[in-house]
Structure 1
Amino acid sequence: MTKAIKKQALGRGLSALLKDPENDIKSVEDKNADKVVGNIIELEIESIEINPFQPRSNFNEETLQELSTSIKELGVIQPITVRKMEYNKYQLISGERRLRASKLAGLTHVPAYIRIANDNDSLVMALVENIQRHDLDPIEIALSYQRLIDEIQLTQEQMSDRVGKKRSTIANYLRLLKLDPVIQTGIRDGFISMGHGRAIINIEDQEAQADIYQKIVSSNLSVRETEALVKNYHEGLNPTEAAKAIEAKPTSFNIADEEKKAFTSFFGAKVDVKVDRKGKGKITIPFSSEEDFNRIIKLIQG
């Protein structure tokens, strides 16, 4: 605790140093650069511009508001990272979610690590830190990897070293970018998982991809069922026939008519019992009025 208080106090002093035009630090060789670079400094939020290299494009408003509430009560626990631009101007490298939440909380200053970096360094730091620290969706991560390839000319092996991920993992993310854009959006919005996407990517025809995607969403297929659907497609079935072959699989267990009749007899109403292929199901008990509903409640409560 003492160490944290000391560092914050130091940050306030360095804030004044940065506002002195005679100490406009632009490189690590400049006077007092060693006092600024790598230290936590309280910066005016208005002096920080958003990083154009930021890979995250979606911010959940509800979780952002929750973070804002936490910041109001506890402050910004983890400083953001910025790079110094011109005099009293900074560009965000990482921590956009914290910066946005701080603005929502009404803060005028935010603790920040100061770095001096060129555009390439800034891009690498932004992408790598976001991939490692934040809950980017799989498509955002894939796009981040692709930018490192396109703009920095990093190989998959070099990216593996930078982000601490296996080369095969990086390759799996990059393959998602070959999916139909509609399916990529489905992954970003959480309608299907990365596992579903990895199964669909084995189909080259994007129209067939889209048809199978619709079957997955409408039938709530698991990743394993999706893999079986894709296998059926490769065996010569069209997407509709492939889906029917999956749907034709028997349920994991059956409920006898006598057991259904026992439910109906107990509740005095025609009870509907359904079980899906995964063994999950539901019991529907109809009622005709409030009195009938209360009668059923009493039966359940014993």
Structure 2
Amino acid sequence: MSRTSDWPLPPDSLRLLLPPVLLAKLAAHPLSRDLYPTSLGHYRRARDHQMSRDRHDDHLLIYCSEGVGHLLADTTEGPQALRVGSGDLIWLPPGMAHEYRADHEQPWSISWVHLRGDGAHWLRQAAGYDASPLRHWGVQHALLGGFTQLLEAGHSGYRFQPYLLAASRLRALLCQLPLLRPLREGGLDLDGLHAYMRENLHRRLELAQLAAFCNLSKFHFVNRYRVLTGRTPVQHFLHLKIEYACQLLDSSGHSVAQVSEALGYDDSYYFSRLFSKVMGLSPSAYRARLGEGRGGA
């Protein structure tokens, strides 16, 4: 197994090395033997972090969420010197000698995992990695959350089941990469934007606020969003609001005025017009129809 960095950990970082007995179980179990972690961690603003390996016998993923790093990799097309920035994911396969370090001025924050299993080779190709070990996916909640879930196994006392779950989560994380490609190419973190919308259903976010969240002008923001989704961002935000309104009408005793207020609309008549435009009937008619159909599946 490739050795991990012995970089001294600050209080807000974590490094997990799986013991040999646990690794043997993961390598033998039918649910994990083709893809499982051997070590993993998270380094926060890793000043002076560096590593060099001439011999490398597993896969290594390094996801940079902030700051800058520098990578030198001995690829099939010759040595590549690469600058690593926020949103970049490095995938170093077995046999690729490499060295990397955090930038002195802007040290990177990284999540990382060493992994083994035949499934990793196929997933690496599916994610579009060829000779270069670096791709830019952007800072996406799906990836950050995936690495965070992997590290949850670290509070189990090396029990097998949490690490078996980590192996499953690792597969799910890697399977997301081909699906994230349109988000990268479109220049938008749709997962992050949609999470922001869902967190603000009680507000009336304007187009300018949504564009500012993505650090884009309103013109470029609307055009990129429409290409990726087929609708405008304001339409999607409205549909999220109406979807939530339906849940409130179905599961609470709130009046239409109270539902309107919960969604940030002071004028319940205006809210009713928006609701009717999306659902084809008024909020009151929607609730009445639900009452008529009680008892069905």
Same fold (TM over 0.5): no
Bigger Cα Rg = 1
Q: TM-score, normalised by structure 2?
A: 0.30
Q: Higher RCO, 1 or 2 (CA under 8 Å, sep at least 6)? A: 2
User: Higher strand proportion, which one?
Assistant: 2
User: Higher helix proportion, which one?
Assistant: 1
Q: TM-score, normalised by structure 1?
A: 0.29
